[in-house]
A and B are shown apart, each in its own frame.
Chain A
Amino acid sequence: MVVQTPGAGPVAMAPPGQLRLGWWTRAAVHAGLATAGLSRRLGLGAGSIIGGRVTLALDRHALRHLAAGRRVVLVSGTNGKTTTSHLVAAAVRTAGRVAHNAGGSNMADGAVAALAEARDTEYAVIEVDELHLAAVAEAVDPAVVVLLNLTRDQLDRATEVGAIASAVGRALARHPSTVVVANADDPMVVSAAALASRPIWVAAGASWLGDASSCPRCGQTLTFTEPGWQCACGLSRPTPDWWIEDSKVYTADAVLPLDIRLPGQVNRSNAAMALAAACAVGISADQAASALREVDVVAGRYAVVHRGGQDLRMLLAKNPAGWAGMLSMLSEPRPLLVIINAREADGRDTSWLWDVPFEHFGSRQVVASGERAADLGVRLSYAGLDHCTVADPLAALETLPPGQIDVVANYTAFHQFRRRLSREREATG
């Protein structure tokens, strides 16, 4: 039995491996793992979601039981969750074993699966969908919550950004001993984290403020004056505890190198957030910083896939903010393949394509692809971009020259495309 003392600092820890799960939770975990294994053997996928669901169906408190006694870091926000959680996990791994939902299954079932697959770890780093943050935090009583940014994503199932920010805020207020590592440059995040009792503010930047030009608290227009922002109602940018200058991260009493391998300013911001989170769970800053340098591919993203004479650089962007963060990575005039789907996990509404500044893409060869290739094609025409439209992404590659190609896809399109590429490789031996 693990006794938790609410509000008394980080959760008192039992030594890892000595935790006793109740027999019913143990049975639920075994059933889930067996289902996941079966799903993998049948080639249906990684099995973590179905396995987690089975465990949760048998024991709805499984997440609480599995998390008990571990130091848990939750990573949430609209963009950068997967990348940042990989960076945090790399840093924390220097101090001990880590359970991590590395594949990006970021709802309660994915968290359960990650904890069930690595039972006796001291730490857990869990990426959590921002809509599920409140429920997961309630169950795992996290040592640290990382809140990267809150912008529009999948409005069709998420209602509106402001509502998400207030739900997250209420959840954080219920965990007074949790350290909240929050982005001081994102007004939505600040309005949510304002209720946290132990915030650490990171000036991580905001690549897109399209949803944040009016105050999340009162609706008035925010005033942005570099580097800050404020509202007449009193909400303003907190003084950062961590900030980035050139390729270094600064705190009041330390300077750390930030020479990571992942591309783009947006990943330097993710790395700064990851460093702050790792330090908050007691990892030494130098140790954490050198661990971040080892990360180069994150769940298939940033990987370069060779196919025929083409080198495909695989990038994922699923909303206007994600695209804005990616623009600096797309500065070379390489040919570009964009693949867009509109399945449930992508959001059914493709309107967001009109908030991506395709007008700035200059002259490069562009192919529009995916299940919503026509939506994208019409958008590109109005942006004045010459392009061709080929719905099947593998057929689309045939229209592009050999050499380096940037591939940007949204969520289900990215995973579909990766699966097809790897199946193709297996078939050709």
Chain B
Amino acid sequence: MSGESTVEIGLLLPDVLGTYSDAGNATILAQRLRWRGIAAEIRTITARDVPPTSCAVYLLGGGEDTAQLFAADWLRRHDQLRRTLETRAVTLAVCAGLQILGRSMSDSKGQHYPGLDLLDITTAPGRQRAVGEVVATCAVPGVGSLTGFENHRGVTTLGSGTAPLGRVLTGTGNGTGEGTRYRGEGVLTERIIGTYLHGPVLARNPALADYILRQATGQTLAPLDLPDQAALRHTYLGRTSR
């Protein structure tokens, strides 16, 4: 129970990448720890701050194009944080946040911008914006179906050694693999969970939240029964929800 050190959750650049309410993921992670008697603290890290490297989890959210390039630039300038994300912490990166962690991003004029190079992915604009509900089967054992709301124009191509977070059943996700049996959603590596899903994604997929917390703390976590959670999953997944 108590006596253990506080788990810090780093909410990166909510002032820049806050367009899609992904900051809710920080609240969800912190509360799920507290409800289990584990002390948790959200560290809000704005563009003016020197980012701490002590957090167990870092979160990046979605944002608009100008803001995204500013965020990529800011992250590149903070090398110690970059090294923390690469070697120690667990990161959940959503939408623009996911794209930033890749090798490069390009805009509609074909201009390339460097990413943080933590993921072997590249992102280019698609023909049209992908807006709507997504259902995917999550590659993390025990998580089941992923539900979320996507709203992006990015088409993200994964390098051959990089695995997606899930397989799209409905919706667009990464936007690659059209016409094949496997259309991917997001990215999953040992330390980074990347996704296009808002909602926020952890509100709709509590098993993914607990996976992140287990990875970050090394602790086993007791199950939680939250009122309305089953009804929420049912809203978006229908009878197949688990």
Closest Cβ of chain B to A185, distance in Å, is: 17
Q: B66 — which chain A residues lie within 8 A by C-beta?
A: 162, 214, 218-219
Which of A152, A350, A368 has the most chain B CB atoms closer than 10 A to its own CB?
A350
Q: B149 — which chain A residues lie within 8 A by C-beta?
A: 156, 348-351
**Which chain B residue shows the least CB distance to A213?**
B15
Assuming A210-B18, A377-B228, is B70 touching A382 (CB within 8 A)?
no
Q: How far is the CA of A157 from the CA of B129 in the complex (A)?
A: 10
**In the complex, which residues 184-242 of chain B have their Cβ closer than 8 Å to any Cβ of chain A?**
198-200, 203, 226-229, 231-232, 234-235
**In the complex, which residues 27-85 of chain B have their Cβ closer than 8 Å to any Cβ of chain A?**
27-28, 31, 46-48, 64-67, 69-70
Closest Cβ of chain B to A196, distance in Å, is: 22
Q: How far is the CA of A320 from the CA of B24 in the complex (A)?
A: 13
Are A160 and B21 closer than 8 Å at their CB atoms? no
Closest Cβ of chain A to B47, distance in Å, is: 4
Closest Cβ of chain A to B154, distance in Å, is: 13
Closest Cβ of chain A to B41, distance in Å, is: 15
Which of B64, B227, B228 has the most chain A CB atoms closer than 10 A to its own CB?
B228
Are A389 and B227 closer than 8 Å at their CB atoms? yes
**In the complex, which residues 366-386 of chain A have their Cβ closer than 8 Å to any Cβ of chain B?**
368, 372-375, 377-379, 381-384
Are A354 and B24 closer than 8 Å at their CB atoms? yes
Tell me if A394 is interfacial: C-beta within 8 Å of chain B. Answer: no
What 1/0 mask marks residues of chain B from 3 to 41 whose CB sits below 8 Å from any chain A CB? 000000000000110111111100110010000000000
**Which chain A residue shows the least CB distance to B30?**
A382
Tell me if A161 is interfacial: C-beta within 8 Å of chain B. Answer: yes
Q: Which of A214, A320, A349, A377 contacts B232 (CB 8 A)?
A: A377
Tell me if A352 is interfacial: C-beta within 8 Å of chain B. Answer: yes
Tell me if A159 is interfacial: C-beta within 8 Å of chain B. Answer: yes
**In the complex, which residues 197-230 of chain A have their Cβ closer than 8 Å to any Cβ of chain B?**
210-211, 213-214, 218-221
Tell me if A155 is interfacial: C-beta within 8 Å of chain B. Answer: yes
Are B27 and A214 closer than 8 Å at their CB atoms? no
Are B232 and A378 closer than 8 Å at their CB atoms? yes
Closest Cβ of chain B to A398, distance in Å, is: 19
Q: A373 — which chain B residues lie within 8 A by C-beta?
A: 228, 231
Q: How far is the CA of A381 from the CA of B232 in the complex (A)?
A: 13
Tell me if A294 is interfacial: C-beta within 8 Å of chain B. Answer: no
Q: Which of A156, A350, A353, A379 contacts B132 (CB 8 A)?
A: A156
Q: A213 — which chain B residues lie within 8 A by C-beta?
A: 15-16, 18, 46
Which of A162, A373, A374 has the most chain B CB atoms closer than 10 A to its own CB?
A374
Q: Which of A156, A351, A377 contacts B131 (CB 8 A)?
A: A156
Closest Cβ of chain B to A387, distance in Å, is: 9
Are B70 and A220 closer than 8 Å at their CB atoms? yes
Count CB-based A-B contacts (< 8 Å): 113
**Which chain A residue shows the least CB distance to B18?**
A210
Q: Which of B20, B65, B69 contacts A155 (CB 8 A)?
A: B20
Q: How far is the CA of A354 from the CA of B47 in the complex (A)?
A: 21
Are B15 and A377 closer than 8 Å at their CB atoms? no
Assuming A162-B64, A221-B46, A389-B227, is B16 touching A349 (CB within 8 A)?
no
Q: A156 — which chain B residues lie within 8 A by C-beta?
A: 131-132, 149, 151
**Which chain B residue shows the least CB distance to A384?**
B31
Q: A354 — which chain B residues lie within 8 A by C-beta?
A: 21, 23-24, 27, 200, 203
Q: How far is the CA of A381 from the CA of B46 in the complex (A)?
A: 27
Are B235 and A214 closer than 8 Å at their CB atoms? no
Assuming A156-B151, A159-B129, A213-B18, is B231 touching A351 (CB within 8 A)?
no
Q: A210 — which chain B residues lie within 8 A by C-beta?
A: 18
Tell me if A355 is interfacial: C-beta within 8 Å of chain B. Answer: yes
Are B19 and A211 closer than 8 Å at their CB atoms? yes
Are B28 and A161 closer than 8 Å at their CB atoms? no
Are B129 and A155 closer than 8 Å at their CB atoms? no
Closest Cβ of chain B to A211, distance in Å, is: 7
Are A351 and B16 closer than 8 Å at their CB atoms? no
Closest Cβ of chain A to B236, distance in Å, is: 9
Q: Which of A157, A353, A382 contacts B31 (CB 8 A)?
A: A382
Are B16 and A372 closer than 8 Å at their CB atoms? no
Q: B232 — which chain A residues lie within 8 A by C-beta?
A: 374-375, 377-378
**In the complex, which residues 38-54 of chain A have their Cβ closer than 8 Å to any Cβ of chain B?**
none
**Which chain B residue shows the least CB distance to A155?**
B151
Q: B18 — which chain A residues lie within 8 A by C-beta?
A: 210-211, 213, 355
**Which chain B residue shows the least CB distance to A353?**
B21
Closest Cβ of chain A to B6, distance in Å, is: 18
Q: Which of A157, A160, A368 contacts B19 (CB 8 A)?
A: A160
What 1/0 mask marks residues of chain A from 28 to 39 whose CB sits below 8 Å from any chain B CB? 000000000000
Assuming A213-B16, A352-B21, A382-B31, is B131 touching A160 (CB within 8 A)?
no
Assuming A221-B15, A377-B227, A377-B228, is B67 touching A351 (CB within 8 A)?
no
Having A221-B16, A382-B27, one finds 18 other A-B pairs with CB under 8 Å, namely: A160-B65, A161-B64, A162-B64, A162-B66, A211-B19, A218-B66, A219-B67, A221-B15, A221-B47, A320-B21, A349-B149, A349-B198, A349-B199, A354-B23, A354-B200, A373-B231, A378-B232, A382-B203
Chain A to chain B contacts (Cβ below 8 Å), 30 pairs: A152-B19, A155-B19, A155-B151, A156-B132, A156-B151, A161-B19, A162-B65, A210-B18, A211-B19, A213-B18, A220-B70, A221-B15, A320-B21, A348-B149, A349-B198, A351-B22, A354-B21, A354-B203, A355-B18, A374-B231, A375-B235, A377-B228, A377-B231, A378-B232, A379-B24, A379-B203, A382-B24, A382-B203, A383-B27, A384-B31
Residues in B lying within 8 Å of A, measured CB to CB: 15-16, 18-24, 27-28, 31, 46-48, 64-67, 69-70, 129, 131-133, 149, 151, 198-200, 203, 226-229, 231-232, 234-235
Nearest first, the 5 closest Cβ-Cβ pairs linking A and B are: A354-B24, A377-B228, A219-B66, A374-B231, A219-B70
Residues in A lying within 8 Å of B, measured CB to CB: 152, 155-157, 159-163, 210-211, 213-214, 218-221, 320, 348-355, 368, 372-375, 377-379, 381-384, 389
